[in-house]
Amino acid sequence: MVKELKAEVKKLNFYYGSLHALKEINLPIERRKVTALIGPSGCGKTTFLRCFNRMHDLYPHNRYEGEITLYPDNINIISPEIDPIEIRMQISMVFQKPNPFPKSIYENVAYGLRVRGVSKRAVLDEKVEKSLRGAALWDEVKDRLNHLAFDLSGGQQQRLCIARALATDPRILLFDEPTSALDPTATSKIEELIIQLKDEVTIIIVTHNMQQAARVSDYTAFMYLGEIVEYDKTDRIFTAPSNKLTEEYITGRFG
Amino acid sequence: MQKSKSELQTEIKKRIAVIKFWDRVFLIIGLLSTLVGLVLLFTLMADLFVNGFPRLSYKFLSSFPSRFPEEAGILSAWAGSFLVLLVTALASIPLGIAAGIYLEEYARKNWLTDIIEINIANLAGVPSIVYGLLALGLFVYFFKFGESILTGGLALALLILPMVIMATREAIRAIPNSIREASYALGATKWQTVQSHIIPYSTGGILTGVIIGLSRAIGETAPIITVGALTFIAFLPTSPFSSEFPFISFKWLFDPFTVMPIQMFNWVSRPQQEFQLNAAAAGIVLMIMTLLMNGLAIYIRYRFRRKIKW
């Protein structure tokens, strides 16, 4: 099987003011695969994830160095010459806590399209349905699309956020600990969904939960203190890690 | 010597009794303090009603002031109050909201914005007569707006502007950052985020602040007297609508005017007892206006709270 890269991180360094948070990170992101980022709290997984859609540009004193190349067009995601909005239009994100807008279910999903100037009802209707189906939520909400998103349960809200992220046909979908605020049933639904979604979109997921990484991902990167300690196929990382630190983390001796 | 068990028990009971005694003392002090405020307020309102209620009638609302107390009414006063408040709202709402949004969403957080923040809080505490003096110098003498509805409305707009800005900022601050991030992550620009999230989700809080500000403005007397409102006025401002092209006239903005509190003050300062009753009746009307506005503010807050809970 030929490997195809969707993105490649080269010598990425990231600074919060004077704090050197990510150090010399190199990582390939395989196309239409799930790449998991694992590691103890504060190791920089979320910071790293938020580089991919330039979320750090929202706050002052943040600085990137290095390159994240997006294929096939070879653009450098973190280049200062590239408008972060252009990046966010292509790379969507699902956050740790479900954060739907206090609008209707329909408007939540349609928002990304509205931002892009889509206003034709027929186009929106079609996209909203397709995205909600993609997020395995359509059957539960099709009769109440104009209800407030806050009326949904936590797990449904998170799937709504996934639908919202899917509606704009992202090239990469970022998940930042998407199930940490959910109960086990809702969690397993989201995990199934992630496995389904990789047929269409490249996924990077940050998770605290090692079993989750083992269940959903194809590749895993173990991070520690702002560096990538080990990157490999997920089954290798979990069965035969080559680094001592990785092994200790996987076996629960720290973290 | 060791104390027996029962001795210890009685000692504990005694201490509890002493502590509970102080509990009760404070309860009584608290209750009395609350009652002082409530009873005074209630007496004031009851007195106003007893005195003024018999004078309240349609004729009282629809007559101009007069030398004869039983013919005098508050038409020019409430019309003046209404128009002045209209100018106040039109000036302070856009300015206050825009300033609040700028400070919360656009301005970088640094020492300059800290100073601005402290100053806005201070401005809210400046005595209203000072705003009157400012308006007199700026609007009457400098911009030559005259002693007009426009001047009065703008003076009150300045007065409540800090309140509107602070209410806006507080309402915006209540919006969780995760909502902003969700919007930006979908590729929205700052203005798109402000327009479709920040403004709609803070509208409840902003409106509440605006209405509370306006209900304070309607009772203000000092700045209005300072900018030269008349105390006796027996005609209405020019109608804003006319039968000829262009059908809308802004001449009323430059007309002289009076407002409810000034009309009351005028009547109170007269020696005849009957005028005092008119003042009480006008007081009831003013109070009802204020209560209605506050009621509206509470209702709006309730409505928005029910829809948006973070």
pLDDT per residue as tens, chain B (310 positions): 567 888 889 999 999 999 999 999 999 999 999 999 999 999 988 998 898 888 888 988 888 888 888 888 899 999 999 999 999 999 999 999 999 999 999 988 888 888 998 999 899 889 999 999 999 999 999 998 988 999 999 999 999 999 999 999 999 999 999 999 999 999 999 999 999 999 999 999 999 899 999 999 998 988 998 887 777 777 788 777 766 677 777 788 888 888 999 999 989 888 888 899 999 999 999 999 999 998 998 888 888 877 776 6
Q: Is the pLDDT of residue A2 over 60?
A: no
Nearest beta carbon to residue B178 from set A99, A148, A150 = A99
CB atoms within 10 A of CB B46: 10
State the pairing for strand pair A172-176/A202-206: parallel
Note the ipTM here.
0.93
More confident site: A157 or B1:
A157
Across the interface, do A115 and B186 touch by the CB < 8 Å criterion? yes
Q: What is the average per-residue pLDDT within A107-116?
A: 96
Nearest beta carbon to residue A60 from set B108, B197, B308 = B108
Provide the pLDDT for residue B227: 87
Across the interface, do A92 and B179 touch by the CB < 8 Å criterion? no
Residue range B41-58, pLDDT digits in tens: 999 889 988 988 888 889
State the pairing for strand pair A62-70/A75-76: antiparallel
Query: B200: distance to nearest CA of chain A, Å?
Result: 10
Question: Where do the DSSP E strands lie in chain A?
Answer: 5-16, 19-30, 34-38, 62-70, 75-76, 91-94, 172-176, 202-206, 219-224, 227-233
Q: What is the average per-residue pLDDT within A59-77?
A: 93
Q: Per-domain residue ranges for chain B?
A: 5-55, 58-307
- Name the CATH superfamily, with its identifier, for domain B58-307: MetI-like (1.10.3720.10)
Q: Is the pLDDT of residue A121 over 80?
A: yes
Query: A165: distance to nearest CA of chain B, Å?
Result: 7
Six-digit token string for A221: 């990167």
Across the interface, do B308 and A115 touch by the CB < 8 Å criterion? no
Query: B109: distance to nearest CA of chain A, Å?
Result: 9
Provide the pLDDT for residue A235: 94
Give the dihedral sign, CA A240/A245/A249/A254. Answer: positive
Q: Is the pLDDT of residue A253 over 90?
A: no
| Cα gap B140→B237, rounded to integer Å | 18
Across the interface, do A112 and B196 touch by the CB < 8 Å criterion? no
- Given a contact cutoff of 8 angstroms between Cβ atoms, the answer to whether A144 and A137 are in contact is no
Q: Which residue from A minimizes the CA distance to B108? A: A60
Give B-chain residues touching A168 at CB under 8 angstroms: 186-187
What are the residues of chain A with a beta carbon less than 8 Å away from any beta carbon of chain B?
53, 55, 58, 60, 85, 88-89, 92-93, 95, 97, 99-102, 111-112, 114-116, 148, 150, 161, 164-165, 168
Across the interface, do A95 and B197 touch by the CB < 8 Å criterion? no
User: What confidence tier does A48 reach under pLDDT thresholds 50, 70, 90?
Assistant: very high
| Cα gap B290→B264, rounded to integer Å | 15
pTM: 0.84
| Cα gap B301→A60, rounded to integer Å | 34
Query: B214: distance to nearest CA of chain A, Å?
Result: 28
Query: B180: distance to nearest CA of chain A, Å?
Result: 9
Q: What is the average per-residue pLDDT within A40-61?
A: 94
Q: Which residue from A minimizes the CA distance to B201? A: A102
Residue range A159-205, pLDDT digits in tens: 999 999 999 999 999 999 999 989 999 999 999 999 999 999 999 99
Six-digit token string for B196: 């479709």
Q: Which of A101, A103, A157 to mutate to test the interface with B (most CBs of B within 10 A)?
A: A101
Query: B123: distance to nearest CA of chain A, Å?
Result: 30
Provide the pLDDT for residue B1: 57
Provide the pLDDT for residue B129: 92
Q: What is the average per-residue pLDDT within A227-250?
A: 93
Q: Is the pLDDT of residue A23 over 90?
A: yes
Six-digit token string for A208: 């605290």
**Residue A167 DSSP code:** T
Across the interface, do A99 and B189 touch by the CB < 8 Å criterion? no
Residue range A73-111, pLDDT digits in tens: 899 999 999 999 999 999 999 999 999 999 999 999 999
- Given a contact cutoff of 8 angstroms between Cβ atoms, the answer to whether B208 and B303 are in contact is no
Q: Is the pLDDT of residue A219 over 90?
A: yes
Q: Is the pLDDT of residue A34 over 70?
A: yes
Domains and CATH numbers, chain A: 1-90+170-255 (3.40.50.300), 98-169 (3.40.50.300)
